Structure 1
Amino acid sequence: MEKLFIKNGTIIDVENGISFVGAIEIEGNKIKRIINQDEVLPEGPDAIDANGKYIIPGLIDMHCHINEGFAPHFVASGVTTVRNTAGNVLLLNNLIQKPDHSPIPRVYVSDRMIDGTPGQWGPTSYGNFVTDDPEEARKEVRRQVEVGAKFIKLYGWIKRDVMEASADEAKKFGLEVSIDLINSKELTALDAAKAGVTWFEHASGFAQEIYKGWNPLVEQAEWSHINWEEPDQEKVKELCDKLLEYDVKICPTMVLFDQAMSYPNIWSPNNKVIESIENRKHPVEYWKSHEEHEEAIKRSTAVVNNLTKAIAKTYYDMGGTVVAGTDTPALLYTYPGMALHRELEIFVEIGFTEIEALQAATVNAAKSINLDDIGTIQEGKMADLVILNKNPLENIKHTQEIDFVVKGGKAYNQEEILSNIPSEEDVNSLLQAFIEEWEAVHVN
């Protein structure tokens, strides 16, 4: 069994908010022992000397849409686990089944989203299921359970009775239900919570509840009286208080809206990971295709930027679960892996402490989906670690100062991880082959 020994590093205990100098002994894919600096180190093993460096658990992006072509960029950014919110389990099996030490993130996956007619992403396909029939939705939930979905994802044009049926069916199998209500024309966050939905992606549906009748698809001039820049804190608190009764969980993906509202002055630090991403056609061409719709995106979708930030901080302060995610690669320049670092910056900008921001992407994220073997640096836990050159508790931006990453017990520098990126031709060929196989079976 492979062994790894890291010594002299400052280990950050994200659960208790403390740090100490010590060593980490890794055997196979697990942390075997944590040794305090006061203890005598074992003789003999070759060790990585982390003197002057800081060790945090592998980061978790709680909302993304992963693709094999940019999967290694997550790990090169220190993101060792992702929660994939809609896609296709079978399409991602190649990533899901990789060994623990592979330089791609662990994938906690949902299957295709369940939406209402006519379907925001078009008719039923390998990536979405469109129906207004509650029984068809129940059948789809059961199919998703069979293929290995860890949770169920609903989308914003879903009908109320279909939403209720989906949530009820998922509950039978112990699965949580997530919803994206950004473009919802009828339902609000409170409606979904009452129906049994647990997860609110992008803090969506809150705006529709606070401003009844508003949604991104209506004529925005009619709603010019809303002060989006300075959200009504009293209304935000009142709604958060109601949703707290249902113990809902929020993944605000603030970077998604922040990048759009900041465009063209986007957050784009100069580092190896972003340089590698910008040399890829996908998702760069996708982002460029959105540039021409910049004003429309700002006017409708991203207008909720400050409201989302207010919701995230208020709900957290009231004791609610708020975790860090990005919606990579959506809208404009949500860089795979690196966007999570900007999300953590925003957490701090809106009033979270550095340790609270870190917790949102480590221990609190892991606990929110009952993943007991990741999210902290503890004996017996998965050996997913990020070794940083600077202290993130002094400045959250230091999470970007990555020296190397340990994934499932194997240490990598960023260059080694990025060397594992598959060619775009191979990725496209695999996707096309999958789509053809899927349609041959599922399309009449």
Structure 2
Amino acid sequence: MGKLLIKNGTIIDVENGVSFKGAIEVEGNKIKRMIKQGEVLPEGPGTIDKTIDAKGKFIIPGLIDMHCHINEGFAPHFVASGVTTVRNTAGNVLLLNNLIQKPDHASVPRVYASDRMIDGSPGQWGPTSYVNFVTDDPEEARIEVRRQVEVGAKFIKLYGWIKRDVMGAAADEAKKFGLEVSIDLINSKELTALDAAKMGVTWFEHASGFAQEIYKGWSPLADQAEWSHINWEEPDQEKVKELCEEMLEYNVKLCPTMVLFDQAMSYPNIWSPKNKVIESIENSKHPVEYWKSHEELEATIKESTAVVSNLTKAIAKTYYEVGGSVVAGTDTPALLYTYPGMALHRELEIFVEIGFTEIEALQAATVNAAKSINLDDIGTIQEGKIADLVILNENPLDNIKHTQEIDLIVKGGKAYNQEDILRSIPSEEDVNRSLQAFMEKWEAVNIN
């Protein structure tokens, strides 16, 4: 890749919330030097291989989607959207190895992944398979955690029908290996967020389980007529704050994925700006066919989403206000039109709509996201960090929507325009071949 110089740009220091004009010298995949305006630039033959003039443009760190379910077929759409790292919350590490092992400069995001989710019987996603493990036996859960450690899981993901003793066993086993535990309690019938926090669960996806704690006995699967007295449109702020302060004592982290609920509630008038990336996604078979299949379930999806949508927003804002960690994620490609990569931009808009400042929203998808999972080499623009950068045509600190105005992306020191990346999208045949090869290996060893 050689040496790259990006000059004359306005660099946004997301950690300190300031911006300044200057240049960035990149060598290999790392930022070698930050050069302030007026200092001598390292230009000339044999010194710099490529120069990008970013005059009038704004440079932010590569964005991080802290909750998604990535697939080889749409992985490049993330980078084309300026999302250079993703946290994959449940799936299969072995299936993702083709992405995980790509070099830093590849036009797919680096992947920080959990392995298959651990759930209780009968399993919300069906019986045990390559993407989920269903058990009511604490010892089986411990064995599964150890297996996931061996295949390279970066954290452990639990699901909402897990039994209390199984959750405790899984969290305890994960702790032995220094791994954090994440949970999705949206459909939990028995356990609440506070229950999970007390047992050592750190991550609460979708800010789930809070509703079950605030309204004891409620769950999405309960008879909602019995809970018709609750005003879900205007959450009880006093109860929300009280629970947030209690959860803060356990240092839990929230990824609210508000865009997931927002797109579902807005359908058919979804957020869908016209740009190159979304046009490319809409011309692909997957996940569009998946979304279209969910259109038939619109009424059911909206009914369940309406209950938690505003509460999730209230929790996200309040937990941040009391000093908690709140980061940006999307749950792509779940439910309806959570566009790979681009959905994160809508999530940032929602952060601002509920009261975060532009810089606070940006931090939730950069420096705070990286710090929350101890990725010290990304998330900011600093010497020695990996050169993941997004060059924007407009200032996102003036309007968060400007994160969508992408001129160029630098991934691991290599500069791309969106067209370059979108041309690298694999064919459906190639993706299916890769999946088939994985399935044959998986079934051959018959791991349950």
TM-score category of the 2 structures, normalised to the smaller one: over 0.9
The residue aligned with 2:89 is: 85
**TM-aligned CA deviation for residue 328 of structure 1:** 0.2
Aligned ranges 1:325-364 → 2 under 5 Å: 325-364=329-368
Q: Report SS of the residue matched to 1:47.
A: strand
Aligned ranges 1:38-437 → 2 under 5 Å: 38-44=38-44, 45=48, 46-437=50-441
Q: Which 5+ residue runs of structure 1 have no aligned equivalent?
A: none
**TM-aligned CA deviation for residue 433 of structure 1:** 2.4
Is residue 55–residue 385 contact of structure 1 (8 Å, CA) maintained in 2? yes
Is residue 131–residue 137 contact of structure 1 (8 Å, CA) maintained in 2? yes
CA RMSD across the alignment: 0.9
Report the Cα distance in structure 1 between the residues aligned to 2:321 and 2:359, rounded to whole angstroms: 14
Is residue 332–residue 343 contact of structure 2 (8 Å, CA) maintained in 1? yes
Report the Cα distance in structure 2 between the residues aligned to 1:73 and 1:145, rounded to whole angstroms: 29
Q: Report SS of the residue matched to 1:34.
A: strand
Range with greater deviation from structure 2 (207-216 or 434-443) = 434-443
**TM-aligned CA deviation for residue 303 of structure 1:** 2.4
Q: Which 5+ residue runs of structure 2 have no aligned equivalent?
A: none
Report the Cα distance in structure 2 between the residues aligned to 1:363 and 1:443, rounded to whole angstroms: 37
Report the Cα distance in structure 2 between the residues aligned to 1:134 and 1:234, rounded to whole angstroms: 36
| Alignment TM-score, normalising by the size of structure 1 | 0.99
Report the Cα distance in structure 2 between the residues aligned to 1:443 and 1:35, rounded to whole angstroms: 53
Q: Report SS of the residue matched to 2:22.
A: strand
Question: 1:347-381 CA distances to partner (integer Å, 9 max, x unpaired)?
Answer: 00000000000000000000000000000000000
**TM-aligned CA deviation for residue 148 of structure 1:** 0.5
Is residue 232–residue 306 contact of structure 2 (8 Å, CA) maintained in 1? no
Question: 1:318-364 CA distances to partner (integer Å, 9 max, x unpaired)?
Answer: 00000000000000100000000000000000000000000000000
Report the Cα distance in structure 1 between the residues aligned to 2:306 and 2:440, rounded to whole angstroms: 35
Aligned residues: 444
Report the Cα distance in structure 2 between the residues aligned to 1:433 and 1:211, rounded to whole angstroms: 46
Q: Report SS of the residue matched to 1:114.
A: strand
Is residue 220–residue 300 contact of structure 1 (8 Å, CA) maintained in 2? no
Question: 1:253-281 CA distances to partner (integer Å, 9 max, x unpaired)?
Answer: 00000111111110000000000000111
* Distance change (3 Å), C-alpha of 1:437 and 1:319: same
Report the Cα distance in structure 1 between the residues aligned to 2:10 and 2:320, rounded to whole angstroms: 28
Report the Cα distance in structure 2 between the residues aligned to 1:179 and 1:200, rounded to whole angstroms: 5
Report the Cα distance in structure 1 between the residues aligned to 2:424 and 2:40, rounded to whole angstroms: 38
**TM-aligned CA deviation for residue 219 of structure 1:** 2.2
Code of the residue aligned with 1:433 in structure 2: it is A
The residue aligned with 1:5 is: 5
The residue aligned with 1:15 is: 15
Report the Cα distance in structure 2 between the residues aligned to 1:133 and 1:442, rounded to whole angstroms: 20
Q: Report SS of the residue matched to 2:368.
A: helix
Code of the residue aligned with 1:135 in structure 2: it is E
Q: Report SS of the residue matched to 1:21.
A: strand
Report the Cα distance in structure 2 between the residues aligned to 1:215 and 1:21, rounded to whole angstroms: 51
**TM-aligned CA deviation for residue 428 of structure 1:** 1.5
| Alignment TM-score, normalising by the size of structure 2 | 0.98
Is residue 66–residue 328 contact of structure 1 (8 Å, CA) maintained in 2? yes
Question: 1:141-170 CA distances to partner (integer Å, 9 max, x unpaired)?
Answer: 000001100000000000000000000000
Report the Cα distance in structure 2 between the residues aligned to 1:224 and 1:389, rounded to whole angstroms: 48
Is residue 63–residue 326 contact of structure 1 (8 Å, CA) maintained in 2? yes
Report the Cα distance in structure 2 between the residues aligned to 1:103 and 1:12, rounded to whole angstroms: 23
Is residue 244–residue 318 contact of structure 2 (8 Å, CA) maintained in 1? yes
Question: 1:372-401 CA distances to partner (integer Å, 9 max, x unpaired)?
Answer: 000000000000000000000000000000
**TM-aligned CA deviation for residue 221 of structure 1:** 2.2
Report the Cα distance in structure 2 between the residues aligned to 1:426 and 1:252, rounded to whole angstroms: 33
Report the Cα distance in structure 2 between the residues aligned to 1:223 and 1:271, rounded to whole angstroms: 42
